[in-house]
Amino acid sequence: MKYFEGYKLKTAIAILSKFIEAVFEIIIPLLMARLIDSGIVAGNDSVVYSSVVWMLILTLLGYLSALVCQYYASHISQIVGGRIRSDLMKHDLELSTDQVDAFSSSVLTNRITSDVLFIQDMIARVIRLGVRAPFLIVGTIVALFTINQKLSLALLIALPLFVGVIWGFMMLTMRGHAKATTQLDRVTARVSELLSGSRIIRAFSKQAHSDRVFNNDNDTLFKRQSTVGIFATLSSPFTTLMMNGLMVLLIYISGIQINLGSMTQGQTLAIINYCNQLLITLIVAMNLIMIISRGTNSLKRVKQVLNTQPRLSSDGDERIEKPFKLVFDRVSFSFPDEKRRVLNGISFTLEPGKTLGIIGLTGSGKSTLLKLIPRFMEISDGSICIDDSDLSDFNIHSLRDGIGYVPQNAQFIRGSLNDNITMRRFENPEEALTDAQGQDILSKGLDVLIEESGKNLSGGQKQRVNIARALAKKPKLLLFDDSFSALDAITTARLQKTLRTKYRDTAQIIASQRTSSVSHADWILVLDQGHILDEGTHESLLKTNEIYQRIYSLQQEGSD
């Protein structure tokens, strides 16, 4: 109900307006019967005029009431949907990396877009029809019994068959919609996967295979959505056929009753109107139930995300205000629902202004180790401390502000070069980009548009912009996750010289698969399958560690 805060009165007004319209709809057929029986048949002009006037007044008031309800229902549903969408986005950004991966970005996108739209539709329909439809059904049945009990009983006997048919179509449609929604998540994920990997697909001429994979998923979605469409399409003409058949039966019985003198013409017309109104309202009510079911299913999917508690708390009181000592004490990490240890018993100390190199083969745990420091993921065992305080004691925003993290895969937002470096903060992008050896990028101007995923930048330019983003923060700790892999040897050497001189007071951790990137580090860890296999300086590891020697030799041969 918090999403309706400030709009509860307007919601009540909208529902009341629709209720008033429904009351008028119940009264109008009675006025019509009075018009015919007491006015036209009896030759009483005053009854005719008064009945017509009252019918016009009620019709106009009902129309105005409907307008009020329609306006508020649309406005409130959009407001509530917007609030849910904002909460979802805020919550998604608070989830840890592994929690986001557990849902997948495509599923979270569907929750924020499609599911919220279904919830909005449900809210609008419930405001418009949630009171109106039940009242019309009950009111119409009561009105029918006041006119002719025998005919009303005949109608009520046929009513369960009519309701059963509508319910059957509704259940088939709802089940089909649930399957189609699940398949839509899969197609969305497939589209994201294929678009992000489009260059690799073209490079290996796998377009035909990718088309087949996508078409299989798309065909399944088409079949499931077509099934839903078939049920929805058949339900309308079938129920209309039943409704018209029931009308013919009522008119036939009413004709007999009129000839026998037990019913008047006005009563017959009122019963036909009420019957038509009742059957249409039943169809509307069943559709409303289906919309509520669909919206409720979407609400459950949204709640599943909102009820997922972020593993990372941002409520710590400690703040990063000066250079610090970083201590890993027997740190281990496993992904949720996995027994395998990605990191196991990692211990080291990094003093302010020192540089730590981390090297290892693919899958050794280098990237995971770096992600634990800004708390993109939470450790499973052990502790990470800044000076004498545990990492969890720090305010997460202050912690991340004090750390410059350069991810393995360069990331961008669609916007200007300036926005991608400063992230809309008051920082010096020119200095940061110059320090990152990005003079050629800077020559294009800070207002140049960076396309989605940095498509208009080369691999080396992407890495330098990402490095500039980290440097612009003036952090107390720099984390480089294989961040020099796309740079040539000369650019790398210049960048490392800048880091050693201008940023000599800033602690640095450099994770890489190349010995040349970590050779200048004060201390180097050699990781293998999540364990520290060996540690030391570049020179000592060349003498004692086989893996380090092999990596160095292969790279030396490659450079020759």
Residues 138 and 211 in one domain: no
- Confidence (pLDDT) at 225: 84
Residues 156 and 137 in one domain: no
Residues 300 and 356 in one domain: no
Asked if residue 51 is part of any domain, the answer here is yes
What distance in Å separates the CA atoms of residue 121 and residue 119, rounded to the nearest whole number?
5
Residues 72 and 164 in one domain: no
Mean pLDDT value of segment 207-236: 83
Residues 130 and 223 in one domain: no
42-56, 158-172, 425-439: least confident range? 158-172
Which one of 275, 310, 345 terminates a domain? 310
Task: Judge whether residue 396 has pLDDT over 90.
Answer: no
Asked if residue 380 is part of any domain, the answer here is yes
Residues 303 and 443 in one domain: no
Residues 7 and 77 in one domain: yes
What distance in Å separates the CA atoms of residue 122 and residue 302, rounded to the nearest whole number?
14
Q: What are the φ/ψ torsions at residue 457 (nearest 5 degrees)?
A: -120, 150
Asked if residue 320 is part of any domain, the answer here is no
Residues 498 and 367 in one domain: yes
Asked if residue 286 is part of any domain, the answer here is no
Which one of 254, 277, 310 terminates a domain? 310
Closest C-alpha among 83, 82, 85, 80 to residue 124: 80
Mean pLDDT value of segment 151-160: 74
Which one of 247, 282, 310 terminates a domain? 310
Task: State the residue range of the domain holding 161.
Answer: 149-262
Helix, strand, coil in percent for the chain, rounding step 5: 65, 10, 20
Task: Judge whether residue 242 has pLDDT over 80.
Answer: no
What distance in Å separates the CA atoms of residue 354 and residue 504, rounded to the nearest whole number?
8
Number of domains within the chain: 3
Other C-beta atoms closer than 10 Å to the C-beta of 349 total: 13
Token code pair at residue 360: 């290892």
pTM given for the model: 0.68
CATH code of the domain in which 33 resides: 1.20.1560.10
- Confidence (pLDDT) at 327: 94
Burial class (CB in 10 A: 0-12, 13-18, 19+), 287: buried
Q: What DSSP line would sit under 327-370, residue for residue?
A: EEEEEEE--TT--S-SEEEEEEEE-TT-EEEEEESTTSSHHHHH
Token code pair at residue 242: 């039943």
Asked if residue 489 is part of any domain, the answer here is yes
CATH code of the domain in which 525 resides: 3.40.50.300
Asked if residue 285 is part of any domain, the answer here is no
- Confidence (pLDDT) at 558: 55
Element (H, E) at 182: helix 149-196
- Confidence (pLDDT) at 537: 93
Residues 169 and 81 in one domain: no
- Residues 6 or more apart from 345 whose CB is under 8 A from it? 330, 331, 332, 382, 531, 532
Residues 142 and 158 in one domain: no
Residues 200 and 100 in one domain: no
Asked if residue 275 is part of any domain, the answer here is no
Task: Judge whether residue 250 has pLDDT over 70.
Answer: yes
Closest C-alpha among 225, 226, 224, 220 to residue 190: 220
Residues 336 and 383 in one domain: yes
Asked if residue 392 is part of any domain, the answer here is yes
